[in-house]
């Protein structure tokens, strides 16, 4: 997923072009346990994407289906037989709903992250480059939003946007926009800080001297350099977006259960089942959230560590000193 | 849920925009004053934002009671509450009222918002404190251990554990805890803040603080105190684990950063013990980013409290907020949001001051 944002290849980077793509280059840089974490994260992320893409093929039933030709589905049936992960109190098939949930989650994550990257980067660039009162106002605004419990803001936003009732696309958009508002300050901060730093660099100065327009400087010289860190923020925010979506759904402010399957909502319903010892309605959607977030976070964390020389162990040093330190 | 470890190292992670540096190394008093004054715009922006966002959907009376009253009755209630006037007038009036500590009355159950805040705030404070204790007890020692054993298998296990803490939504962790320790093993109660009899005894005390454990200990009621502790464990663990993962990662990253500095090497060459190097030399300077992010975690903790309280039917501000949100009682929601904004802004202020006391360089 993260390969969609391409890093600007460095001049001195060696190897074919594909070796300089974010994930690939990170993989080649990694070693030992760190490589293991990266690979585990990638596998989990790929499984999630496949589940989202292939839900219509893999799921035996629809997400709101409660009967078929042989009659109504049993309610709260334990896992086994036709319903391999059991059924819920409403007669939904847990396995099917969990698969369909991946699709909803994927749609919301992609929409939310795309929106927040676009707006956050644009505002950060403008704020950092132009400076002055615009910068002051935007920074104070972003800080105020950033300091606030994000879930609460997302709830307020989702009420405002969806006015309570939501169809599939309405629900996805409402959730995505709510999450976007919460995440813009993060992108804004990072990009603004980079822009302010880059603005003082000699190459910007020289671009000015040769008469490049502000627009050109911003898009060519600053944007390309300031967005190096985006792939990592992207993966980490994707996981936060998923958690926020689940939180919204759990509190009942997400997407209607008849419009789509959403893991957080299913967990809310499973809460009372847990009290009577019925575990399968909660454990499967819950694990789906945990594994997806785990995968995305492992990828993001590994990229973060590999990008930070303080945290990166050199492969050579590792090989040589492996025995001595172990 | 804003987990912020990934930008902890960014210079921009300092939560407040600080005005141009005072000349000749501005004094601490000056920093204190400017930083304090910055609290107000933060609160003001949030209050304004929430007020207008809520009003986009219409007036609070229609939102809360729209389906239940006839149009005439609605119009009457709206006029009585003054919601038929221009929004700007209402906004200014609202600001004035907040300034005098008057948050109005809730629409759904007609209680003074200040009373709601006092009653349920204590419960949330108790939960937040408990979970912070658990988060620190797990996060700091394991973070140090993880940094010390960097890139060996215990470190890998601890790191995956930290990510798992973050990847598990607090309500799923809560559900699992309830299932295992409440239902299958039957060791701990799964909902509420205390048993019925203990709750009755504690709420009928004279001048209760609302913090059950404190009230039980003050009145010498040991049975109730035990009951309260039993009820507190599962919610505190569920919420505490979430934060513990963040602390663990933060301590690890920052201690690894400081362990590589020259003075640590110098200490080692002087024969300072490895334990002392870790806990004194490397840990102390790593504290500043840790404290800064801990301040930001308060916001996360409050957001997490909404989910935890809903999961465990812990009758605090978060639980109540979810109820009011469902009932579209925007007067109550605004009141709670303002209180949370004040808490978050104050925490960030305190965190900045503590950071400045530890390291004069961050005073700008």
B58-92 tens-digit pLDDT = 677 777 776 677 778 778 877 777 777 788 888 88
- The DSSP output letter for A218 is I
Of B6, B54, B345, the CB nearest to A236: B6
Of A15-19, A277-281, B320-324, give the lowest mean pLDDT range: A15-19
Specify the pLDDT at position B246: 86
Query: Which chain B residues are within 8 Å of A289, Cβ to Cβ?
Result: 167-169, 172
Q: Is the pLDDT of residue A264 over 80?
A: yes
CA distances from B299 to A191, A323, B117, B128, B288 (A): 23, 44, 17, 11, 18
Mean pLDDT of all residues in B330-349? 82
Q: Do A151 and B15 touch (CB under 8 A)?
A: no
Query: Which chain A residues are within 8 Å of B45, Cβ to Cβ?
Result: 140-141, 144-145
Query: Which chain A residues are within 8 Å of B303, Cβ to Cβ?
Result: 149-152, 247
Mean pLDDT of all residues in A67-96? 76
Site of tokens 């008849």: A258
Report d(CA A172, CA A254) in Å as an integer: 8
Of the pLDDT bands very low, low, confident and very high (cuts 50, 70, 90), residue A44 is very high
Specify the pLDDT at position A167: 65
Name the residue with higher pLDDT: B169 or A307.
Answer: B169
Specify the pLDDT at position B172: 92
- The DSSP output letter for A261 is -
Of the pLDDT bands very low, low, confident and very high (cuts 50, 70, 90), residue B284 is confident
Q: Do A163 and B175 touch (CB under 8 A)?
A: no
Q: Do A149 and B15 touch (CB under 8 A)?
A: no
A304 to chain B: closest CA residue: B6
Of the pLDDT bands very low, low, confident and very high (cuts 50, 70, 90), residue A308 is low
> How far is the alpha carbon of B205 from chain A, nearest alpha carbon, in Å?
31
Report d(CA B83, CA B95) in Å as an integer: 15
Specify the pLDDT at position A307: 67
Show the CA angle centred on residue B14, arms to residues B354 and B286, nearest 5°. 60
DSSP string across B196-260: HHHHHHHHTSSS--S-HHHHHHHTT-HHHHHHHHHHHHHHHHHHHHHHHHHHHHHHHHHHHHHHT
Q: Is the pLDDT of residue A15 over 70?
A: no
> How far is the alpha carbon of B81 from chain A, nearest alpha carbon, in Å?
22
> How far is the alpha carbon of A223 from chain B, nearest alpha carbon, in Å?
18
Q: Do A304 and B6 touch (CB under 8 A)?
A: yes
Q: Is the pLDDT of residue B9 over 60?
A: no
Of B9, B41, B152, the CB nearest to A140: B41
Specify the pLDDT at position B226: 80
Of A151, A152, A304, the CB nearest to B337: A152
Of the pLDDT bands very low, low, confident and very high (cuts 50, 70, 90), residue A127 is confident
Query: Which chain B residues are within 8 Å of A36, Cβ to Cβ?
Result: 156
Of A114-118, A291-295, B358-362, give the lowest mean pLDDT range: B358-362
> How far is the alpha carbon of B284 from chain A, nearest alpha carbon, in Å?
18
Query: Which chain A residues are within 8 Å of B159, Cβ to Cβ?
Result: 37, 301
Q: Do A163 and B325 touch (CB under 8 A)?
A: no
**Residue B286 has which token pair?**
């790593």
Which of A140, A143, A145, A196 is the best substitution to test chain B (most B C-beta atoms within 10 A)?
A143
Specify the pLDDT at position B16: 42
Specify the pLDDT at position B363: 52
Q: Do B171 and A148 touch (CB under 8 A)?
A: no
Specify the pLDDT at position B259: 78
Name the residue with higher pLDDT: A102 or B78.
Answer: A102
Of the pLDDT bands very low, low, confident and very high (cuts 50, 70, 90), residue A321 is very low
Query: Which chain A residues are within 8 Å of B156, Cβ to Cβ?
Result: 33, 36-37
Number of Cβ within a 10 Å radius of residue A38: 22
**Residue B82 has which token pair?**
């003054």
Q: Is the pLDDT of residue B13 over 60?
A: no
Report d(CA B58, CA B75) in Å as an integer: 13
Specify the pLDDT at position A159: 77
Residues 6+ apart with CB under 8 A from A189: A124, A142, A146, B7, B10, B12, B13
Q: Is the pLDDT of residue A318 over 60?
A: no
Mean pLDDT of all residues in A224-244? 78
Query: Which chain B residues are within 8 Å of A326, Cβ to Cβ?
Result: 152
C-alpha dihedral, A54 to A57 to A60 to A61, nearest 10°: 80
> How far is the alpha carbon of A69 from chain B, nearest alpha carbon, in Å?
34
DSSP string across A156-198: HHHHHHHTT---HHHHHHHHHHHHHHHHHHHHHHHHHHHHHHH
- Indicate left, alpha or beta for A212 from its phi (over 0: left) and psi (-120 to 50: alpha): beta
Query: Which chain A residues are within 8 Å of B176, Cβ to Cβ?
Result: 282-283, 286
Of A8-12, A133-137, A208-212, B102-106, give the lowest mean pLDDT range: A8-12
Q: What is the CA radius of gyration of chain B?
A: 24
Between chain A and chain B, the number of residue pairs with CB atoms below 8 A apart is 192
Length of chain B: 364
Specify the pLDDT at position B362: 55
Specify the pLDDT at position A292: 93
Name the residue with higher pLDDT: B364 or B250.
Answer: B250
Task: Quote the mean pLDDT of chain B.
Answer: 79
3-class DSSP state of B21? coil
Of the pLDDT bands very low, low, confident and very high (cuts 50, 70, 90), residue A325 is very low
**Residue A188 has which token pair?**
């804004």
Length of chain A: 326
Of A144, A244, A267, the CB nearest to B46: A144
B147 to chain A: closest CA residue: A311
**Residue A35 has which token pair?**
């490589």
Report d(CA A210, CA B131) in Å as an integer: 58
Q: Do A140 and B321 touch (CB under 8 A)?
A: no
Specify the pLDDT at position A290: 93
B9 to chain A: closest CA residue: A308
B170-198 tens-digit pLDDT = 999 999 998 888 888 878 888 878 777 77
Specify the pLDDT at position B142: 92
* Residue percentage of chain B with pLDDT more than 90: 6
B96-144 tens-digit pLDDT = 888 787 778 887 788 888 888 888 888 888 898 899 899 889 988 898 8
ipTM above 0.90, yes or no: no
Query: Which chain A residues are within 8 Å of B322, Cβ to Cβ?
Result: 251
Q: Is the pLDDT of residue A115 over 90?
A: no
Q: Where are the alpha helices (DSSP H) in chain A?
A: 22-29, 32-58, 94-130, 132-147, 150-162, 168-199, 202-209, 214-216, 224-226, 230-250, 263-275, 280-307, 315-325
Task: Quote the mean pLDDT of chain A.
Answer: 77
Mean pLDDT of all residues in A127-153? 80
**Please, what's the b/e burial string for A265-290 (b: 16 or more CB within 10 A of its CB; e: otherwise)?**
bbbbbbbebbeeebbbbbbbbbbbbb
> How far is the alpha carbon of B207 from chain A, nearest alpha carbon, in Å?
31
Q: Is the pLDDT of residue A2 over 50?
A: no
3-class DSSP state of A325? helix
Report d(CA A125, CA A196) in Å as an integer: 9
Query: Which chain B residues are within 8 Å of A282, Cβ to Cβ?
Result: 172, 175-176, 179
Specify the pLDDT at position A310: 56
Q: Is the pLDDT of residue B23 over 70?
A: no
Of B159, B179, B310, the CB nearest to A274: B179
Of A145, A150, A270, the CB nearest to B175: A270
**Please, what's the b/e burial string for B144-158 (b: 16 or more CB within 10 A of its CB; e: otherwise)?**
bbbbbbbbeeebbeb
Q: Do B169 and A246 touch (CB under 8 A)?
A: yes
Query: Which chain B residues are within 8 Å of A252, Cβ to Cβ?
Result: 326
Give the closest residue to A109 by CA, choosing from A275, A293, A269.
A293
Q: Do A145 and B49 touch (CB under 8 A)?
A: yes
Which of B175, B286, B298, B330 is the best substitution to test chain A (most A C-beta atoms within 10 A)?
B175
Of B50, B166, B168, the CB nearest to A156: B50
Distance from the Cα of residue B287 to its chain's centroid: 20
Report d(CA B140, CA B294) in Å as an integer: 12
Q: Is the pLDDT of residue B265 over 70?
A: yes
């Amino acid at each position: 997923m993260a390969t969609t944002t391409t890093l600007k290849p460095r001049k001195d980077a060696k190897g074919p072009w594909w070796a300089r793509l974010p994930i690939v280059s990170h993989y080649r840089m990694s070693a030992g346990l760190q490589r293991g974490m990266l690979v585990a994260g990638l596998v989990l992320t790929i499984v999630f994407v496949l589940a989202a893409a292939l839900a219509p093929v893999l799921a035996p039933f629809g997400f709101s289906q409660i009967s078929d030709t042989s009659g109504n589905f049993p309610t709260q049936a334990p896992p086994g037989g036709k319903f391999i992960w059991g059924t819920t109190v409403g007669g939904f098939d847990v396995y099917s709903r969990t698969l369909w949930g991946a699709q909803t989650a994927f749609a919301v994550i992609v929409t939310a992250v795309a929106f927040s990257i676009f707006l956050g980067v644009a505002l950060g660039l403008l704020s950092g480059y132009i400076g002055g009162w615009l910068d002051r106002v935007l920074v104070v605004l972003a800080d105020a939003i950033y300091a606030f419990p994000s879930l609460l803001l997302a709830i307020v936003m989702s009420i405002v946007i969806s006015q309570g009732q939501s169809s599939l696309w309405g629900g996805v958009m409402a959730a995505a926009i709510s999450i976007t508002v919460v995440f813009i300050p993060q992108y804004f901060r990072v990009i603004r800080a980079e822009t302010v730093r880059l603005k003082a660099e000699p190459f910007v100065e020289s671009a000015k001297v040769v008469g490049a327009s502000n627009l050109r400087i911003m898009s060519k010289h600053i944007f390309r350099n300031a967005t190096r860190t985006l792939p990592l923020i992207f993966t980490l925010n994707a996981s936060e977006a998923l958690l926020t979506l689940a939180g919204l759904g759990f509190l009942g402010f997400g997407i209607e259960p008849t419009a789509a399957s959403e893991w957080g909502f299913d967990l809310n319903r499973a809460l009372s089942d847990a009290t009577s010892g019925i575990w399968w309605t909660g454990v499967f959607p819950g694990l789906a959230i945990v594994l997806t977030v785990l995968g995305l976070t492992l990828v993001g964390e590994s990229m973060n560590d590999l990008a930070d020389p303080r945290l990166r162990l050199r492969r050579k040093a590792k090989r040589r000193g492996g025995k001595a330190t172990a | 849920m804003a987990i912020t470890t990934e930008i902890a190292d960014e210079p921009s992670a300092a939560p407040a925009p600080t005005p141009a540096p005072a000349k000749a190394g501005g004094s601490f008093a000056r920093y204190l004053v400017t930083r304090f004054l910055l609290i107000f715009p933060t609160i003001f922006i949030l209050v304004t934002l929430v007020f207008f966002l809520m009003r986009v959907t219409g007036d609070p009376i229609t939102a809360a009671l729209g389906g239940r009253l006839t149009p005439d009755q609605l119009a009457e209630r709206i006029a009585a509450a003054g919601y038929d006037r221009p929004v700007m007038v209402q906004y200014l009036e609202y600001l004035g009222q907040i300034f005098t500590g008057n948050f109005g009355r809730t629409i759904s159950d007609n209680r003074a918002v200040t009373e709601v805040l006092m009653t349920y705030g204590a419960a949330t404070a108790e939960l937040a404190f408990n979970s912070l204790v658990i988060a620190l007890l797990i996060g700091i020692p394991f973070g140090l251990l993880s940094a010390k054993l960097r890139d060996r298998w215990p470190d890998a296990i601890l790191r995956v554990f930290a990510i798992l803490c973050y990847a598990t939504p607090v309500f799923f962790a809560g559900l699992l805890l309830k299932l295992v320790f409440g239902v299958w093993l039957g060791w701990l109660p799964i909902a509420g803040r205390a048993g019925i009899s203990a709750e009755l005894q504690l709420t009928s005390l004279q001048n209760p603080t609302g913090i059950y454990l404190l009230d039980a200990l003050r009145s010498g009621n040991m049975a109730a105190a035990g009951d309260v502790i039993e009820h507190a464990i599962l919610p505190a663990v569920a919420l505490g684990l979430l934060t513990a993962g963040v602390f663990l990662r933060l301590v690890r990253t920052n201690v690894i950063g400081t362990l590589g500095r020259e003075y640590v090497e110098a200490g080692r060459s002087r024969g300072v013990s490895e334990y002392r190097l870790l806990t004194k030399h490397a840990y102390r300077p790593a504290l500043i980013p840790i404290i800064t992010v801990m301040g930001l975690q308060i916001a996360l903790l409050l957001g997490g409290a909404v989910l935890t309280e809903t999961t465990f039917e812990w009758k605090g501000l978060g639980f109540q907020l979810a109820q009011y949100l469902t009932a579209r009682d925007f007067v109550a929601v605004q009141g709670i949001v303002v209180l949370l904004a004040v808490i978050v802004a104050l925490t960030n202020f305190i965190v900045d001051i503590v950071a400045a006391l530890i390291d004069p360089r961050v005073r700008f």
